[in-house]
Amino acid sequence: MMETQSVAGVACTDLHQAMSRIDGAALARLEQAIAEANTVFVFGAGRSLLMLKAFAMRLMHIGLKVHVVGDVVTPALKNGDLLLLASASGETASLVNVATKAKQLGGTVALLTIFPESTLGNLAEVVVRIPAYTDKLPDGLDNVKGILPGGSLFEEAVMVLGDAMIVNLAQSDGISLNQRFCATRQPRIVIRHKETNMKLQLAPGRVNPA
């Protein structure tokens, strides 16, 4: 049995190998789509959704409008919005339904996936292939077979790619990553209670700290 830190080291090597095979031009198109969207919506299933929620938090930190599909406070997607999905197989039924509806509403669909030739891959305008292995897809694909179980390599690639895109998106918008994220573009919010006239002020730099 390997020591835990050795397993982690191999996992990092696997992740680096997968990252080196990602199409940089496709990533640039995704970053552009995010930057140009009126609002970004993210959606996935299981751990993939958790990774996109983490990305959504960072998008909020640099001042972009972002929502998670399915949250009770999420508004309707509109023309000019972007739906970003993460699905290893590209065949998750709930995501296919959401993507189809988003296109009907005039939104742009972007996808992080192992299998671009999937149903979601054919629906999406922007597709980034993450070459991680999964036993759900046909043999013969040039995917990295990592040491971690299940779809962990794909999911962790989604997480790291998200944080990497934040670096470029922030720099292109003139945001210094040496500052607190939430100190950059968060507006000053004043909430007044009609009856007691109580006032809550949320100053820039004190909203949802990282």
Q: Supply angle C-alpha 30, 35, 41, rounded to 5.
A: 75
Which of 3, 125, 155, 195 is labelled catalytic? 155
- Beta strand 199-202 with 189-192 is antiparallel
155 belongs to the catalytic site: yes
Cα–Cα distance for residue pair 110/55, rounded to 1 Å? 14
Of the candidates 79, 86, 127, the one whose C-alpha atom is nearest the C-alpha of residue 102 is 79
Indicate the DSSP class of residue 44: E
**Burial state string for 20-54 with b = 16 or more CB within 10 A and e = fewer than 16:** eebeeebbebbbebbeebebbbbbbbebbbebbbe
Query: If DSSP states are collapsed to H, E and C, what string results for 126-148?
Result: EEEECCECCCCCCCCCCCECCCC
Q: Tell me the sheet residues that pair with 84.
A: 42, 110
- Write out the catalytic residue numbers: 155
